Amino acid sequence: MPPSCIPFSFRSTAEHDAATPQPRLHRLAASSSSSSDAPAAGVFDDSASIVTLPSLPSLQSSAPISGYLDTTPPPAFHFCHASLKPLHPTSSAPALAVSAAASLLYSASKSEITVFDLVSARPVETFDAVPSAGSVKSVALSSAGKLFTGHQDGRIRVWRRSARSGRYRLNATLPTAVDRLLHFPLPGNYVAVRRHKKLLWIEHADAVSAVAASGDLLYSVSWDKTLKVWRAAGDLRCLESVPAHDDAVNAVAVAGDGTVYTGSADGKIRVWARSPPTEGRGRRRRHTRHGLVATLERHRSAVNALALSGDGAILYSGACDRSILVWEREESADHMAVAGALRGHGKAILCLACVGDVLFSGSSDRTVRIWRKEGKGKGYSCLGVMEGHGTGVRTLVAKTDQESVSV
């Protein structure tokens, strides 16, 4: 049977007549979590209800600033391509990952992981996601084809496609048994996670909220307030554990140059720089270390989502304060500075995805907003608001091809 498609509407942020569909399309499909109300109109607003940011007039109160704020969207056509459902739907919202090379979408929930073919919009494989480990909180796909899933029990599962059967199989659980065996004899390898309880420093003490694969490294963040760095291939050892924040860490993003960004419930974004590998012998040879280089503080509430532009020059952060802050790298410095805020969602920002000059944002208000950067110094346009989810949009992934952007 063909995939079912729930009612899905497009609402532009400005009045315009029906336009002829353009060659470049936006196809939307995202996962949901919690219900809420409809949003307000979208604008690029430097005040963003963040009192410390420089104020810019909003669309509702005055005309746009010439050459900086463009709120009139060009002709665009958006439609619901398909509503993808696993073979055994659950009440929990899935975590998502996409393979651009193979046109596959990975949807992980509490009990199973489903692989969808994005061309046919059909499930091609479903496998057990270790139900005893609790809900799958996050998913990442490495360039080598390994699938990493972060779980409620604080573990990371590694999945590989079997060469013989062509199906995915559980390859390892992080930290591995060998890694734990190497660390457990020494008292100095234990850290206190709460009163009267200690764990090895290579273990997460709470749910793994986000994972990101970059090159030969895997990054994981957790509600236990830490950032951990793992080898994404070979022995899959934990290389480093960083006490990153004062509250649960909700998001992680990695730039091409190795810079790591973490967002937390403490309202802060922290920037970590990767140092050159240290020289040594044996197991201590060529370990990577990350040091704190900046703390970005402009949100007034928990940071839930982070996304980077393709060149890593722009960082987007979404929070419970309903704003998306735009951070741009200063030419005279190596760190980010806030450039403004995208406003329009009526409730918390839960997820972000960036493809080229287009940013997608999902919110507790049950909508996905589409933003486009109009060029250097020209601000952003809200191209449209995608409605149709019955609950809040918790996760987004984006994929490009020659004709479209799929989310």
Which pLDDT score, from 0 to 100, does residue 399 have?
77
Please state the rounded mean pLDDT for residues 340-352.
Answer: 94
Separation between Cα atoms, residue 350 and residue 210, nearest integer Å: 13
Which pLDDT score, from 0 to 100, does residue 27 have?
43
More confident residue, 60 or 202: 202
Determine the residue type at 105. L
- Residues 36, 349: contact at Cβ < 8 Å? no
Q: Residue 233: helix, strand or coil by DSSP?
A: coil
More confident residue, 315 or 286: 315
Which pLDDT score, from 0 to 100, does residue 35 have?
36
End-to-end CA distance of the chain: 23
Q: Residue 17: helix, strand or coil by DSSP?
A: coil
For the ranges 51-65, 71-85, 327-341, the maximum mean pLDDT occurs at 327-341
**Conformational region of residue 225, where left means phi above 0, alpha means psi within -120 to 50, and beta covers everything else:** left
Please state the rounded mean pLDDT for residues 353-369.
Answer: 93
- Residues 56, 380: contact at Cβ < 8 Å? no
Indicate whether 172 pLDDT > 90: yes
What lies within 8 Å, CB to CB, of 333 at 6+ separation is: none
Q: Looking at domain 9-406, what is its CATH homologous superfamily? A: YVTN repeat-like/Quinoprotein amine dehydrogenase (2.130.10.10)
Which pLDDT score, from 0 to 100, does residue 165 have?
87
Which pLDDT score, from 0 to 100, does residue 49 have?
42
Separation between Cα atoms, residue 357 and residue 141, nearest integer Å: 23
Indicate whether 112 pLDDT > 50: yes
Which pLDDT score, from 0 to 100, does residue 306 have?
98
- Residues 208, 225: contact at Cβ < 8 Å? no
- What DSSP designation does 151 have? E
Indicate whether 316 pLDDT > 90: yes
pLDDT tens per residue, range 276-291:
765 555 444 456 689 9
What pTM value is reported for the model?
Answer: 0.81
More confident residue, 176 or 86: 176
Take residue 369 and report the two structure tokens written for it.
């907003």
What lies within 8 Å, CB to CB, of 14 at 6+ separation is: 71, 72, 73
Which pLDDT score, from 0 to 100, does residue 281 have?
52
Separation between Cα atoms, residue 183 and residue 200, nearest integer Å: 7
- In the chain, % of residues over pLDDT 90: 47
Indicate whether 7 pLDDT > 80: no
Segment among 90-94, 125-129, 264-268 with least mean pLDDT? 90-94
Q: Residue 226: helix, strand or coil by DSSP?
A: strand
φ/ψ of 334, rounded to 5, equals: -95, 0
Indicate whether 122 pLDDT > 70: yes
The per-residue pLDDT of the chain, averaged, comes to 78
- Residues 328, 314: contact at Cβ < 8 Å? yes
Indicate whether 402 pLDDT > 70: no
More confident residue, 94 or 319: 319
**Conformational region of residue 377, where left means phi above 0, alpha means psi within -120 to 50, and beta covers everything else:** left
Question: Pairing between strand 349-355 and 358-363?
Answer: antiparallel
Separation between Cα atoms, residue 184 and residue 154, nearest integer Å: 18
Determine the residue type at 288. T
Which pLDDT score, from 0 to 100, does residue 2 have?
41
More confident residue, 4 or 230: 230
Indicate whether 372 pLDDT > 80: yes
Please state the rounded mean pLDDT for residues 327-354.
Answer: 88
Indicate whether 154 pLDDT > 80: yes
Sequence length of the chain is 407
- In the chain, % of residues over pLDDT 70: 71
- What DSSP designation does 188 have? G
Separation between Cα atoms, residue 303 and residue 267, nearest integer Å: 5
Indicate whether 214 pLDDT > 50: yes
Which pLDDT score, from 0 to 100, does residue 348 have?
96
Question: Could you tell me the residue ranges of all domains in the chain?
Answer: 9-406
Which pLDDT score, from 0 to 100, does residue 128 have?
86
Segment among 37-51, 77-91, 256-270 with least mean pLDDT? 37-51
- What DSSP designation does 154 have? S
Which pLDDT score, from 0 to 100, does residue 405 have?
54
Nearest to 181 by CA among 130, 238, 221, 231: 238
Indicate whether 323 pLDDT > 80: yes
Report whether the peptide linkage leading into residue 123 is cis, meaning its omega lies within 30 degrees of zero.
no
pLDDT tens per residue, range 231-247:
999 999 999 999 999 99
Buried b (16+ CB within 10 A) or exposed e, 263-276: bbbbbbbbbbbbee
Indicate whether 91 pLDDT > 50: no
Q: Residue 231: helix, strand or coil by DSSP?
A: strand
Please state the rounded mean pLDDT for residues 32-56.
Answer: 42
3-state helix, strand, coil in the chain (%, to 5): 5, 45, 50
pLDDT tens per residue, range 16-30:
333 333 334 444 446
